[in-house]
Amino acid sequence: MMQRRKRFIKGLSLLVVLVICGLLINNWIFKLNTMRLPELKKQAAQYVVQQYNACKNGSKSDFTSVDNINLEDTEIAGPFLGVSKDGPVIMNITLYWTISSHGVLIGTVEQDLGVFAISAFTGSSSELWIQTRNAGLLQEMNKQKLPCLVWSVAGENGWPPSYRSDGYYGRYSPADGDFEVIKEDAYHVSEIINFRLGEEHLDFMANPERILDLTK
């Protein structure tokens, strides 16, 4: 009786592990779980406030300056996707949340979802960082109503990675933010965005919310 019970518990535990692994692999390779996006967005907003205050206080910060940023009217929107590949395998998925004020882009919060994009299930990510040099490029892509997918391949891309769209790709200088949008008919990203995140995320400035409302 005792052995039968142990076998049952062992079998049930294995089943639970297999189900969880299956969900995580599906999440990583196929469609992301978007139910946790509000929690991830709130975490990204909290990170902006944290880095803003650090810069104001003269501490180490992802911002080099916040003189032109007023948190009272700063919004966070998105996200759009970043995909890193090593051969045929997707090694990493990153969410990019846009930071803007009155429609003018300030930069992005980049949010690493971790192995198997596990943060899309837990609603908590450990690695976040703010990029401001990409603001001009994203402003232009938004002006042209282009969707965006950040794409990098191990051993092929330098830094920063390529910002791809349908029929175009963009690149910017990490030194001064100078950018260009180049026609490239081979690139088609709308299907990937539709499948992984949903059609509403083709506009990476969609769903704006005031940062201070999310961090109350």
User: Whole-angstrom Cα distance, residue 171 to residue 181?
Assistant: 7
pLDDT of residue 158: 66
The residue ranking higher by pLDDT, 45 or 93, is: 45
Please tell me the pTM assigned to this model: 0.80
Q: Are residues 5 and 44 in the same domain?
A: no
Closest C-alpha among 193, 82, 67, 174 to residue 127: 82
* Model confidence at 76: pLDDT above 90: yes
Q: Are residues 10 and 56 in the same domain?
A: no
Q: Are residues 12 and 44 in the same domain?
A: no
Q: Are residues 86 and 112 in the same domain?
A: yes
Q: Are residues 85 and 175 in the same domain?
A: yes
pLDDT of residue 23: 43
Query: pLDDT digit string (tens) for 35-59?
Result: 778 888 999 999 999 999 999 999 9
**Residue 140 burial by CB count (10 A; 0-12/13-18/19+): exposed, middle or buried?**
middle
Q: Are residues 17 and 85 in the same domain?
A: no
* Model confidence at 126: pLDDT above 80: no
Q: 174-178, long-range: CB within 8 Å, 24+ apart, which pairs?
A: 174/133, 175/133, 176/133, 177/132, 177/133, 177/134, 177/135, 177/136, 177/137, 178/136
pLDDT of residue 29: 46
* Model confidence at 212: pLDDT above 90: yes
Look up the domain containing 17 and give its range.
Answer: 1-30
